[in-house]
Amino acid sequence: MKEATPTEFQKTVSDYLLRNRSILDVMTKLQDATTRVNRAIAKSVTYCGCIRIEAGKQEIPEDADSSALLEYVKSHIEGEPCANCRDIIETELGNALFYLASVSCLLGLDLGTALKKEHDRISTLGLYSLT
């Protein structure tokens, strides 16, 4: 199967947006989909146990150079999702992407353009784009 570009994915989503053409419906479904992503990750921790979250304050020295920040910051994730949890999380991410593309379709925006603009912005601004 051929890999889809964001624009091709959005076109496919648009073709299947039959029952969910209300922006209000799609907005709430996008919010629900992102909640389901969070829940799938939480269940990987609490139900399966394939990953653990070990969180604490990010200790970054005041004199740390911005190029060295990656040495100090952590994801707080220990382990990796098992095959089952990975499949569930990917499914939920795909569902969230569907509704994100749906919002783009209904507003007449191109998801590929938005992706390119964000890529260019973070590539240009680097670490400063994340503050």
pLDDT at residue number 116: 92
pLDDT of 129 = 53
| CA–CA dist 40, 47 (Å, integer) | 10
Residues of the chain with pLDDT under 70: 1, 126-131
Question: What does the pLDDT read at residue 33?
Answer: 97
For residue 31, the model assigns a pLDDT of 97
pLDDT at 131: 55
Residues 6+ apart with CB under 8 A from 39: 92
Which residues lie below 8 Å from residue 9, measured CB to CB, with a gap of 6+?
97, 101, 111
Predicted pLDDT at 39: 98
- What pLDDT does residue 21 have? 83
3-state secondary structure of 49: coil
